[in-house]
Chains A and B, each alone.
Chain A
Amino acid sequence: MDVLDLARLQFALTGSLHFLFVALTLGLAPLVAIMHTRWVRSGNPLHEHMTRFWGQIYVINYALGIVTGLVMEFQFGLSWSGLSHYAGDVFGAPLAMETLVAFFLESTFLGLWIFGWHRLPKALHLACIWIVTLTAYGSAFYIMIGNAFLQNPVGSVVRGDHMELTDFGALMSNSALVGAFPHVIGAGLAAGGFVMMGASAYQLLRRTAYLEFFTKSLRTGVVVAAIGVVVAVGSGYAQFGLVQEDKFEANTGAAVGLGFMMLIGELLQLVVVFLLLPTVYWLPRWRWTHPILIIMTPLPFLAAVFGWMAREIGRQPWMIWERLTVADAMSPGLTSGMVTTSLIGFTGVLGLLAVVDYVLIARAVRRGPEDLALGAWPRTPAPAPVRLEV
């Protein structure tokens, strides 16, 4: 492989890994926020347990979202400085909004939410998880503005050897964005719904002591998965009228990604909408269905990675469609040795951590809502010595 292939491979691997965790973040964040809202309104301990259990899974998953995201952010400078040189005046703005505003707020408020248990007033603590959810969606929106610009460079002009921003509004209403953003959100919700479904099915199959908890969670998972799959498939088809016609014909990789994604998407839609949703009331009691639900859990994640393959390989050989090639976007002076070293470092470390993170998530699912670290109660202080006055 030459240096360009290596740099592309590095971005593809870290990007795919990043999205596996980000998709679940997007899916679980609103669910945890809704559970937390119900807990604050009802005071019901069941809702508290649901908030803490699914919140803990959300937070464990978030760790890898952060660290893979850091590598993504700096990779633009490491491998693709030609992109910021040529189009930084345009592409930099949405990326700056994502990191400077959306992620800044998301991270700060997530810290307040995780460590604010028993410290913050109830309503303010609740506000934290809603801000985390909104800013997570804000992050996805800004990243998709940047990505859509690469697919379809609107709102800008080429002046001399670089591009300049002329109309940010055009970037926000890009035809490569309006279908793709709901598509990504749908994929995220599907991922969240399927994880909730699979985890609940596992607990129910094992005759959990928390029957009501996982019965409700399984039903929520099915409904959210159905919403997610319908939104993802619907906005997926809607995009066919908007993408460049020759995108999938010239690129085998993109066509393969597209084909498998559609295959999984349609299978999931069939199963969730026509089989699971109508039987959602009885599903928690039908134990024979639970192994099937568990086995299906990775499918939306697989579809998501195939979807990114279709979109990103479909853009080849362009970094910015018909403006800048990927080869020209590569940092001048980048050598095979440099990319190989960082590729081994990043994929080795992130790959290992991803495996550890999934083991920890699986372990948290197996243990159920007992002894949760998130929101653990304060240790009662040792009783003060009582001096008896006689």
Chain B
Amino acid sequence: MEVVWLLAFAVLLAGYFALEGFDLGVGLLMAGRPQERRDRMVAAMAPYVLANEVWLVAVAGVLFGAFPVLEGEVIFALYPFVVSMLLGWIVRDAGLWFRRRIEGRAWRGFWDLMISLGSFVLAFGWGMVIGSVAGLPWIAGLGLGALTTALFAFHGRTFLAWREGRGGGRVLALSGLAAAAPVVVLLAAVAPHLLDHAAPAATLNVLSLMVAPFAPLMVGAQVWVWRTFRPGKGSDRIPSFF
């Protein structure tokens, strides 16, 4: 059962990088663009954001439920990163939610800046977190931060191309793999440590029994998001709430 939960943890974390990676990438690419372009960029990612960011919430849930000892240790060890990345996440989400609630260039420009800033803190922060968990010196962490930022920005670009009918789904899938690559390498390295710190069998069994009935609905909902909002179908004519 430990192996099942390790796999669930790995899939959710790698999935977060591959999915939320392009949302953060689009947020990075918004910086410095004219408002009309930013509106289209936000409209392109808007239907996916809620379904994507929740993968990280699920990662934290699995950590707490299946690897509770590590939950406290890892999050506490990463204290400054977790606090700044949470703040980045908060202002990014607030930016998306608030940008269209009041008309006006200054209002929207401010929240769009918050989206870009928040996306940057998260994208760069993930590289530093990977470096820190792997025990690398901070200078290497900075390098990894630059790497994840670049990978997410590239992933955001291929996503926009796909969504706007300028690029194929295969390129998007490949850039998703690239965005998830750094964390997959880290996961492979820390897998034995995770297995050693899994919750006892009684907890894991109860958790499995309770999650299993909902798993098909969770997968189905994610697939449905991608089917519903695929390019074409006159999707650009429906005004975005974000």
A interface list, Cβ under 8 A from B: 59-60, 63, 66-67, 70-71, 73-74, 76-78, 80-85, 88-93, 95-101, 103-105, 107-112, 114-120, 164-166, 168, 331, 333-334, 338, 341-342, 345-346, 349-350, 353, 356-357, 360, 363-364, 373-374, 376, 378-381
Contact = CB atoms under 8 A, between A and B. Distances in A.
A90 B200 CA distance: 10
B138 interface: no
Interface residues of B, number: 65
B87 A349 contact: yes
Given A76-B64, A77-B71, A164 B93 contact: no
Interface in B35-67: 46-51, 53-54, 57-58, 60-62, 64-66
Nearest to A164: B200
A334 B102 CA distance: 41
Contacts of A164: 200, 202-203
Interface string B205-241: 0110011001001100110110011000111011111
Nearest to A171: B206
Contacts of A374: 241
A77 B72 contact: yes
A381 to B, nearest CB: 6
A354 B101 CA distance: 15
The secondary structure that dominates the A interface is helix
Contacts of A357: 98
A105 B71 CA distance: 22
B89 interface: yes
Contacts of A59: 241
A65 B46 CA distance: 18
B241 A114 contact: yes
Nearest to B221: A108
A71 B224 contact: no
Interface string B64-99: 111011011111100100111011011101100110
Top 6 closest pairs, chain A to chain B, by CB: A88-B68, A96-B65, A77-B75, A81-B72, A99-B61, A111-B50
Contacts of B66: 92, 96
A90 B203 contact: yes
Nearest to A335: B79
Given A83-B72, A89-B200, A166-B202, A70 B86 contact: yes
Given A60-B101, A82-B72, A101-B214, A77 B82 contact: yes
A115 B64 contact: no
A130 B46 CA distance: 21
Contacts of A89: 68, 199-200, 202-203
Contacts of B84: 345
B79 A103 contact: no
Given A105-B214, A105-B218, A379 B98 contact: no
A165 B202 contact: yes
Contacts of A381: 234, 237
